[in-house]
A and B are shown apart, each in its own frame.
Chain A
């Protein structure tokens, strides 16, 4: 058992937990996106740790990291697009005021 791997995985778990808390507890769209960023950051550190300590000879591990980074950028781009549209139509990006989207 490697101390480095375990510490990296615990860091990933903590970032994942903090991200879950943020994504569920915040009322503002931009803050919710920050929570999702932390969740993906937790996934990133796990992927790098698995590549480094379990399969450093397989480049597909690094490729997965690039894909997750792409997902992070896309989440931001689309999220901000939605935020601009919402702000333009309602003057706020507070999710408490977006209940009509459920209807």
Chain B
């Protein structure tokens, strides 16, 4: 049966995929970053439709920040950020297209032909979900959660170490 939830999931799903395609179809890098932002926001809206309020809001907030930073980097690093010159920035297009289609068809076949078992029609309200998630993170899954925290710290240090301008050896010796 088609419910309002199914209609909204379909609508936001089409929006997410459409903006995902636009990311690689536009020549302007800023438009590309904004299209990815819209795609991720549509995904967040899908989470909200699926009654995962906390994750939906988190997804939208995180991606808005992440894509704004990405847009800055696009303008800094691209040879033609405005896309005015319509530069071709792709390679092995045919192979990539086939790989993408095969991945899509394979995943759809799994989604459609597998028996997923009984479907849950009801879900706890958002306050209960957030409480259960908090208890999960600080209880049974604490080790995984803490590992993620240490990994973030390591990645932050690694990213800064890689990005920082290296001081020439002689200059470093003089400073010492």
Q: Chain B residues with Cβ under 8 A from A8's Cβ?
A: 9, 13, 46, 50
Contact B111 A38 (CB under 8 A): no
Interface residues of B, CB < 8 Å — how many? 89
Residue in A closest to B111 when the chains form the complex, CB atoms: A9
Q: Chain B residues with Cβ under 8 A from A27's Cβ?
A: 89-91
CA distance A41 to B77 in the complex (A): 24
Instruction: Tally inter-chain residue pairs, CB-CB below 8 A.
Output: 246
CA distance A84 to B155 in the complex (A): 15
Residues of B near any A CB (own CB < 8 A): 1-3, 5-6, 9-10, 13-14, 16-17, 20-21, 23-24, 29, 32-33, 36, 39-40, 43, 46-47, 50-52, 54-55, 58-59, 62, 66, 69-70, 73-74, 76-79, 89-93, 95-97, 99-101, 103-104, 106-108, 111-112, 115-117, 119-120, 122-124, 129, 132-133, 135-137, 140-141, 144-145, 148, 151-152, 155-156, 158-163, 165
The 3 closest A-B pairs by CB, nearest first: A17-B104, A21-B100, A13-B107
